[in-house]
Copies of this chain bind each other. A is one copy, B any other.
Amino acid sequence: MRAEILATGDEILTGALVDSNSAFLAEQLELLGLEVARHHTVGDSLEEIVDVLTEMGRRADLAVVTGGLGPTTDDLTARAAAEAAGVSLVLDKEALADIERFFAERKREMTPSNRKQAMIPEGARVLRNKVGTAPGFALKIGRCWACFMPGVPGEMRTMFRDRVLAHIRETFGRDLHPAVVRTVTTFGLPESEVGERVAAVESLFKGVRLGLRARFPEIQVKLYGRLGRQQEEDDLDGAVAWVCSRLGHNLVSDQGLSLPEAVGRLLRQKGATVAVAESCTGGLIAHLLTNVAGSSDYLLGAVVAYANQVKTGVLKVDPDVIAARGAVSRQVVEQMAIGVRSLTGADYGVATSGIAGPTGGSPEKPVGTVCIGLASARGVVSRRYRLFFGSRQAHKTIFAAVALNRLRLSLTGKGD
């Protein structure tokens, strides 16, 4: 069973858009147990699309194709598919009715070019679109079943889940080996060390397959088993537990939660609240925490104390300490953490001060230096780190993650 993926469109070919559809489809096909052998990208060129479809028709069992089903003259995929399959385009009445309904429901006028979207290769099976105007279709080209979907990610994902999956299951049912996947999130170890620590999982738990995914600054350990085989699903539970035991305090979540999600869950479990005082991270910690729906249950707020006058005026940091130790110092982040905790009345106060770069470093405190403070009813603690990651944004990201991780360790009783 060989599968290939084709993305069409000048925007992707020219680099104007990064193609996220193909990565999504590759993951989905892998979960079905299909081996994806190649991805391709071509522009809005009839000849190129026909060529690559013809090649896939000789080589692959399944092709999933995105893009080029819109109403404009650039949208050539249906014509190319018909040409590659050696059939004509015909008007599909059901597809036309869907398009007419789409415009009627939105009280928008339908143009003749939208009617073009209902022209489908003869013999194709229509894949209805519930969220847009472009119907998809499945067509046999050579030995290959090719499934064509719109390029708009939201429409593509909905059509894949609602229509294409069913078509693939019907067509290839007996040859599929669908997978279940479990994700373990880890932070603070290099990818190579995560790999070494958990490598033995495949030999200890037969039928479990391992994959590592770097989602900076976290690393995800993915464990795959085959769905519907009780023994293997049990093995997967054992494998997750074993992997977690190998990660120690670098384990963030055995359910694939991100650091901000894991911290949020711990705070909610404890009925505790947090407030953040950010210098170098500049609001990123608050942004990450508030990206999680429901975070108002435990995040009271944050002070971005970029200027020293905000550190002293709002957070009540002692100006003499800033003068003596510098704004990037353990003493200052301790006072910031205490200050934001008492200002807001939160149970925990987290503070950052560091040098994200590109300028502002010194031999003693180079770019990549950060101090993290954590205040609670138990008192205040702080640490200093040197984390050189190249860019200002990478520094903000890693500084924020280290701060959230200190809070996480404190909430699980493993911190200072």
Contacts and interface: CB of A to CB of B under 8 A. Distances in A.
Given A40-B39, A283-B283, A284-B283, A344 B307 contact: yes
- The copy count of this chain in the complex is 2
A281 B284 CA distance: 11
A361 interface: no
Contacts of A359: 293-294
B15 A18 contact: no
Interface stretch (A24-32, A86-94, A118-126, A143-151): A24-32
B287 A284 contact: yes
B20 A309 contact: no
A53 to B, nearest CB: 13
Interface stretch (A102-110, A133-141, A161-169, A296-304): A296-304
Interface in A37-84: 37-43, 45, 48, 52
A22 B285 CA distance: 31
A275 B392 CA distance: 21
Interface in A1-42: 11-20, 22-27, 30, 36-42
A313 interface: yes
Contact of A303 (B12, B293, B301): B301
A251 to B, nearest CB: 20
A19 B40 CA distance: 12
Nearest to A59: B51
Contacts of A307: 296, 299-301, 344
Contacts of A39: 12-13, 39-41
A283 B304 contact: yes
A306 interface: yes
B27 A23 contact: no
A213 interface: yes
A344 B154 contact: no
A38 B43 CA distance: 7
Contacts of A212: 16
Given A289-B282, A393-B291, A306 B313 contact: no
B15 A24 contact: yes
A43 to B, nearest CB: 7
A301 B295 CA distance: 22
A314 interface: yes
Chain B CB within 10 Å — which of A213, A275, A300 has the most? Answer: A300
Contact of A18 (B18, B52, B396): B18
B13 A36 contact: yes
A341 to B, nearest CB: 12
Contact of A300 (B283, B302, B310): B310
A238 interface: no
A290 interface: yes
Nearest to A282: B290
A257 interface: no
A384 B392 CA distance: 34
Contacts of A173: none
Contacts of A275: 310
Nearest to A42: B38
B27 A211 contact: no
Nearest to A43: B37
Contacts of A30: 14-15
Contacts of A11: 213
B23 A18 contact: yes
Nearest to A273: B307
A283 B282 CA distance: 8
A14 B211 contact: yes
Contact of A310 (B18, B213, B344): B344
B48 A37 contact: yes
A344 B214 CA distance: 39
Interface string A335-348: 00000000111000
Give 4 closest A-B pairs by Cβ, nearest first: A282-B290, A283-B286, A15-B26, A283-B283
